[in-house]
Amino acid sequence: MAKDLFHQAVKTALTKDGWTITSDPLIIRIDRIKLEVDLAAEKVFAAEKDGQKIAVEVKSFINPSTINDFHAALGQFLNYRTALQITEPLRILYLAVSIDIFNTFFQERFIQIVIKQYDLKLLAYDPNLEEVIKWKH
């Protein structure tokens, strides 16, 4: 159930932030490869604001091993970003994480190095207020 809430919380937060949701989920097809996330908290959806286009990968980080969740999130993020570079090069991909995870785990030195090395773009949100708290480009 929490996964559904996180997905909706981010969707609502983006709408409050002035974005228009254009796809939920965003399906990417390259030849015979179809990319989409079918778990509710981890769906990709697209949004548009002032001609800017983004895709958002929502991650809940609710499993016992946060680093394993991060490994999975990073792998998906890199695959989706590569697919978007092929299909929609102007759409920017963001990884959405709760503000609590952003302020703790994502501040660890190792995670900061990975974020910088792979140029991860982050969206930190408050799942209770359903608001975007911080964009990290």
**pLDDT at residue number 45:** 62
Burial class (CB in 10 A: 0-12, 13-18, 19+), 30: exposed
| pTM (2 d.p.) | 0.87
Measure Cα distances from 116 to 34, 84, 86, 104 in Å. 28, 20, 22, 17
**pLDDT at residue number 126:** 97
**pLDDT at residue number 25:** 84
Contact between residue 41 and residue 3 where contact means Cβ atoms under 8 Å apart: yes
Supply the CATH number for residue 117's domain: 3.40.1350.10
**pLDDT at residue number 5:** 60
Range of the domain at 84: 2-136
- Run means of pLDDT, 10 residues per run, the chain, 137 residues: 70 87 87 65 56 85 92 94 92 93 98 98 96 94
Question: What is the total count of domains within the chain?
Answer: 1
